[in-house]
Structures are given as C-alpha cells and as structure tokens.
Amino acid sequence: PTHLNDGSSSGYGYGVSVSEREGVRWVEHGGDNDIQTSIIIRVPEHQLSVVILANSNRYADTSEKGWALAHHCLGIQSSGANAPEAMTWDTLALSAEQLSRYEGIYGYVRPNSLGVWREAKVKEGTLWMTGAPSHPGLPLLPVAENHFVAINREGRALHLYFEEEAGKLKGFREEFPTYEVPFEFKYLANHSPSLKAYRGIYHHADTGARLQIRTRKGKLQARVRLMRLTLIPFGTDQYYEPGEGTLFLFERDENGLVTKLTVNARDFRNFTVYKE
C-alpha cells in the first residue's frame, strides 16, 4: 500500500491495487487502451498469478473472467462483485441547459497515432459520455465546476476536467488509474463538409492496394476488399473508425480538391494512398 502525507495508507499506488477480501490479500493491475484489455491478479500467499490478455475493448468482460478464474483456483465461490465498491460523491445540481454546454464530439490522438473518440449527450437531465456510437456510455456526475466523475462497472472512477478558452469549450482532460498519462481530448467543432468530395478510389502505387471511399445513408464509408467501415467525423478532413481506433486523414490540393488519404491503423502507420 502507498503511504500518504497525512500518515494514512491507500490501497492503490504505482498502478497496483492491494486489497483484502474473503480472507485473501489480492494484488491487481488492469490495462485498457480502447483496443485491447488485460488484467493481472496475484495472490502472493498462495503463489498464484492470473493473467488475462484480450483482443477486446470490453474491460469489464476481461476483468470478470480474471476474477472468476482466480476464485476458481482458490476454491472460493465467486460472488460476481470482486471489484472495488463504487465511491460516492457530493454532486452539483446542474440543469439540462447547463449540462448542454458540454455536449459534443471530442477526439484524442494517441502517441501511437491511433484515435480515441468521445461523445457527450444530455439524456433525461443527465450528461452521458460514450466511446462508441453503439455503446450507451456512462453517466457523468458533476462534482465541481467543469469537473465530472464517471464510475465504471468495476467501481473505478474516471475523472473528466473540462477546459475553456476565451469563454468557449476547448476540450477535457481524462484521468484513469490505468492511464500512464492523461488523455487530452479536444472539442471537435461541428463541420458539415460535402461528403462527395471524399468519394472515389484510392490506390497505393507500390503495393497496388486499393481503397474505396463512398457514402451510404448520409455517412462516409471505407471499403477494403470485403470489409465495410463506417467512419465518424473526427476533425476537419479527418474521420475515425471506432472498432480499431483507425484514423483516416484526407488532404486537399491548392484548389481544395481531395487528392490524398493517409491511414493510421493498429497494424500500420502513415499508409498513404492517392485518389484516382
């Protein structure tokens, strides 16, 4: 455990959580980069280590499997509630109108050139934040001015600190125990470019690879062989595919015509194709 300045101790430090439950001393650490997830659970007294690595962005599922396996190895009946209990917070009373100023699309480009996308919406008087269009997201609790907290299924707190510049929303800083550094999200101003400008066939001269960009039901779609990827606006001439965090960066010539596309995906970076 980490010792604090006031002499008390915390069960969390250096990315590791230490707790005692069911007569067992647990040491754990989880990882989540929005693409893969992992968890390691150690029980030093029983010389047991459980490690789960998953090609999935559903950390709750990965964590649940890890705890279930650890309990099975120790002969403990799992209660399904092995994560830390959710914390309680004193919240501010904000109206739907006050919350609406935080609504919008936010984007963060990781050091590895992959994108992370967030959308904030007010639903039934509560601000919700989601990381994928198909995901319901988490409710945000206002605990101070421009400071919100979300509690995930594991009972861990996700902190969001919104920032302003000249009276306008600039973005927010997202902090979570498994992050090595905070995620600095930028507010993506609404823009409605003509999607027709992006449509066409793009090719790579050296490999002969071809990529089709088309529109379908008012949305931009990338087609590579049999794969069809629906793209989300991420910025000016930038689009995002939430499944893998792939970024599509379009470029225009001096006449404003789209001529080039650079793709940053999990398995490759700076793959540039040119419009035919």
Q: Which residues of 109-126 are buried (b: 16+ CB within 10 A; e: fewer)?
A: beeebbbbbbbbebeeee
Residues 181 and 207 in one domain: no
Residue 200 has pLDDT above 90, yes or no: yes
> Domain with 101 in it: what CATH number?
2.40.128.50
Over residues 42-74, the pLDDT tens digits come to 998 989 999 999 887 667 678 878 888 888 888
Residue 203 has pLDDT above 90, yes or no: yes
Angle, vertex CA 84, rays to CA 82 and CA 86, nearest 5: 120
Residues 182 and 213 in one domain: no
The tally of domains found in the chain comes to 3
Confirm whether 90 is domain-assigned. Answer: no
CA Rg, the chain, in Å?
Answer: 22
Residues 160 and 239 in one domain: no
> What is the span of the domain harbouring residue 127?
96-188
Residues 102 and 183 in one domain: yes
The overall pTM is greater than 0.75: no
Compute CA 241 distance to the chain's CA centroid, rounded to the nearest angstrom. Answer: 12
* Residues shown for the chain: 276
For the chain, what percent of residues have pLDDT higher than 90? 26
Last residue of a domain, one of 162, 188, 214: 188
Using DSSP, state whether 240 is helix, strand or coil. strand
For the chain, what percent of residues have pLDDT higher than 70? 86
Over residues 115-163, the pLDDT tens digits come to 788 889 999 899 999 886 667 788 999 999 899 998 876 667 889 999 9
Residues 100 and 181 in one domain: yes
Return the pLDDT at 85: 43
Confirm whether 111 is domain-assigned. Answer: yes
- Is beta strand 115-123 parallel, antiparallel or unpaired with respect to 246-252? unpaired
Last residue of a domain, one of 13, 42, 74: 74
